[in-house]
Amino acid sequence: MKNNYCVIMAGGIGSRFWPFSRNNRPKQFLDFFGTGRSLLQMTFDRFSKFVPAENILIVSNMLYKDMILEQLPAIKPDQILLEPTRRNTAPCIAYAVHRIKAMTDKANIIVTPADHLILKENEFQKAILKGLEFIETHDNLLTLGMKPNRPETGYGYIQLADGDGDLRKVVTFTEKPNLEMAKVFVQSGEFYWNSGMFLWNLQTIEQAFQNLLPELYQKFVQRPEVFNTPQEQEYINEVFPSCHNISIDYGIMEKADNVYVLTAEFGWSDLGTWGSLYDLAEKDEHQNVTLQCKAQYYESEGNIVTLEPDKLVVLDNLSGYIVAESANVLLICKKENEQRIRQFVADVQVNHEEKFI
């Protein structure tokens, strides 16, 4: 267990959950279901079962350092890797890999977003333990694959090689296809969703960066002696903004020839959109979802409604809508148009003050 490390990526702003998710408190810091634990806290709890607390690193934006320390008192300030600017998942992971390399020469690394929901924790634990066992003895990059139940355009897709068992070689790795392609993938039965959770050993992922993203790799090897020292932040502030904005999926997983997938079923959702939250939440007899607030519905069905906890909303003859209020913003949007929310946020940024973002 002492060789197990976990990197939790917690720097996103969750703009598809606006206005619930805001710049000053993104979705990973929110308690969506009233459990008393935020998505970040639930993620930490989940992985601390097989990774020592001191081996868990949180990569985030400088804005969120105090919030992370407040929510995760079990970690020390130097376990938070602070990005001076957002540069997607490949630079984020490269930074974490070089920090871990400065701490140890032998590590099994789990990489996970901070905002996933897992409903079957026991099944999840079995899958992770099997994955850790695999990467300890194989120089492969491993991703967790989920069987798709709809043609989702917001996920990456993994095509599996022929064979039996839940550990298979990856044939192709396709990031976020269009709707027509997603339909083909789901109908074929050969494709799984990429969960965005990865496992690999230190040497394998370092080699992958060296071979497939050499320019990015070079940014972090110029001064290896600064990692895990007080000089690290200054160095990161200097080199990180010049890193290419690229995801680990595009930069490495699609190009590498040593990628395997572990297929599993543990009630996974990346909670990326209002629609995914609606699918998971408890519904009334008319398929309406009410979160945090109180609501009365008249001839209304299939809505998701969330306001401040002490508020009441009355809906009359409204079906298939998102009604979400947070602080100074009220959003009313058809569920089927939720992919436009990012555009709404961009337009608000141009036309109004920063306080609405």
pLDDT for 60 beyond 90: yes
pLDDT for the residue 197:
95
Write the secondary structure of 127-145 as one string of H (helix), E (strand) and C (coil). Answer: HHHHHHHHHHHCCCEEEEE
pLDDT given for residue 153 in this prediction: 80
Query: Residue holding tokens 């109180």?
Result: 294
Residue 10 burial (C-beta neighbours within 10 Å; 0-12, 13-18, 19+)? buried
Q: State the chain's mean pLDDT as an integer.
A: 93
Q: Which pLDDT band holds residue 133 (cuts at 50, 70, 90)?
A: very high
pLDDT band at 155 (very low <50, low <70, confident <90, very high): confident
- Alpha-carbon dihedral of residues 23, 272, 195, 160, nearest 10 degrees? -130
pLDDT in tens, 279-308: 888 999 999 999 989 999 999 999 999 998
Res 189: pLDDT: 85
pLDDT at 223: 94
Alpha-carbon distance of 217 to 98, in angstroms, equals: 10
- The domain locations on the chain are 4-269, 283-356
Percentage of the chain lying above the pLDDT 70 cut: 100
pLDDT tens column, 209-218: 999 999 999 9
CATH value of 4-269 in 3.40.630.30, 3.40.50.300, 3.40.50.920, 3.90.550.10: 3.90.550.10
Segment 255-262 mean pLDDT:
94
What pLDDT is recorded for position 162? 83
